[in-house]
């Protein structure tokens, strides 16, 4: 995996305007991984994909991540700071995890971990229960009780809970929660960190700044977008300083 070029950043960002977060994640990783097809990236379990996104983010913007969340008690902004390596290294298997099986209350269920394709399939579903049923039907490979097949949507809550708990154990980076303490009111809680959303917002801000630089330099020197993007960030900055004088 390698960092994206400025031209690739703009291309991926533009193509992601109407895309879901999962589609944006797949596009980013496929672009950063020459020789790996988008379909293969889309099949990675969510935790593996997000670990790779964290690695890519580290390559492009550095290992330190600073985010902001709101305290649920006093609504003050609380800064979150951590390092990419804190999450990406321990939970990144060499390959995506295959099928797993659990036996609960005489039910034997074979399932796979959710991936980007599953997230894309339920992205526009507003009904939480409908989204849950869709995810179950996609991830459950087979379900049997005392030798008889059982439809995934008919599995009892105890079995579904056991399966989701096992998914969380197998894929810990699928949902990353950070321990947060509000310095104002001392409220403590677990905040969900969504790497897809965070990285995409960072990338969008960078892309907009890049386009502004292209606009200013093209207006001043008549250079093409490709010529400007091929400049190093240091040279662009120097030219921008001269333009602003």
Query: What's residue 33's pLDDT?
Result: 94
Q: How would DSSP label each residue in the chain?
A: --PPPHHHHHHHHHHTTTS-HHHHHHHHHHHHSTT--HHHHHTSBHHHHHHHHHHHHHHHH-SEEEEEEE-TTT--EEEEEEETHHHHTTT--SS----EEEEETTEEEEE---BHHHHHHHTT---HHHHHHHHHHHHEEEEEETTEE--GGGS-HHHHHHHHHHHHHH-GGGSEEEEEE-TTT--EEEEEE-HHHHHHHHHHHHHHHHHHHHHHHHHHH---HHHHHTS-HHHHHHHHHHHH-
**Angstrom distance (rounded) from CA 190 to CA 181:** 9
Q: What confidence tens digit (pLDDT) does each residue in 13-62 have? A: 999 998 999 999 999 999 999 989 999 999 999 999 998 999 999 999 99
Q: What confidence tens digit (pLDDT) does each residue in 185-225 have? A: 999 999 888 999 999 999 999 999 999 999 999 999 999 99
The mean pLDDT value for 71-88 works out to: 85
Put simply, whether the predicted model's pTM sits higher than 0.85 gets the answer yes
Residues 6+ apart with CB under 8 A from 124: 20
Q: pLDDT-based confidence at 141, cuts 50/70/90?
A: very high
Q: pLDDT-based confidence at 94, cuts 50/70/90?
A: low
pLDDT at residue 87 tops 80: no
The mean pLDDT value for 63-90 works out to: 83
Q: pLDDT-based confidence at 88, cuts 50/70/90?
A: low
Q: What confidence tens digit (pLDDT) does each residue in 111-128 have? A: 999 999 999 999 988 898
Contacts from 178-181 at CB under 8 Å and sequence distance 24+? 178/80, 178/82, 180/69, 180/71, 180/78, 180/80, 181/78
Query: What's residue 199's pLDDT?
Result: 94
Query: What's residue 81's pLDDT?
Result: 86
Q: pLDDT-based confidence at 8, cuts 50/70/90?
A: very high
Contacts from 190-197 at CB under 8 Å and sequence distance 24+? 191/69, 191/80, 193/67, 193/80, 194/21, 195/50, 195/53, 195/54, 195/57, 196/21, 196/22, 196/24, 196/25, 196/50, 196/53, 197/21
**Angstrom distance (rounded) from CA 73 to CA 71:** 5
Query: What's residue 93's pLDDT?
Result: 55
Query: What's residue 95's pLDDT?
Result: 61
**Angstrom distance (rounded) from CA 175 to CA 19:** 21
Contact 102, 163 (CB under 8 A): yes
Contact 136, 114 (CB under 8 A): no
Q: pLDDT-based confidence at 96, cuts 50/70/90?
A: low
Q: pLDDT-based confidence at 80, cuts 50/70/90?
A: confident
Q: Tell me the domain boundaries of the chain.
A: 6-92+177-244, 100-170
């Amino acid at each position: 995996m390698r960092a994206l070029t400025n031209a690739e950043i703009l291309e991926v960002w533009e193509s992601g305007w109407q895309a879901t977060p999962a589609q944006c994640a797949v596009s980013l990783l496929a672009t950063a991984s020459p020789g790996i097809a988008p379909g293969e990236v889309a099949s990675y379990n969510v935790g593996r994909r997000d670990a790779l996104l964290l690695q890519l983010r580290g390559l492009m913007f550095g290992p330190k991540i600073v985010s902001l969340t709101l305290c649920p008690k006093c609504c003050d902004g609380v800064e979150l700071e951590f390092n990419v390596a804190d999450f990406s290294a321990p939970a990144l298997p060499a390959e995506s995890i295959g099928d797993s099986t659990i036996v609960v209350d005489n039910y034997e269920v074979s399932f796979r971990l959710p991936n980007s394709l599953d997230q894309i399939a339920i992205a526009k579903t507003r009904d939480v229960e409908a989204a849950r049923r869709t995810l179950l039907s996609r991830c459950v490979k087979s379900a049997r009780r005392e030798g008889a097949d059982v439809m995934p949507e008919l599995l009892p809550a105890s079995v579904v809970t056991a399966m989701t708990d096992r998914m969380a154990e197998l894929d810990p980076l699928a949902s990353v929660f950070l321990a947060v303490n509000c310095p104002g009111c001392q409220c403590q809680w677990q905040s969900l960190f969504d790497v897809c959303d965070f990285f995409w917002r960072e990338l969008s801000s960078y892309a907009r700044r890049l386009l502004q630089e292209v606009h200013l330099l093209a207006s001043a020197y008549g250079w093409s977008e490709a010529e400007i993007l091929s400049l190093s960030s240091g040279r662009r900055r120097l030219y921008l300083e001269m333009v602003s004088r």
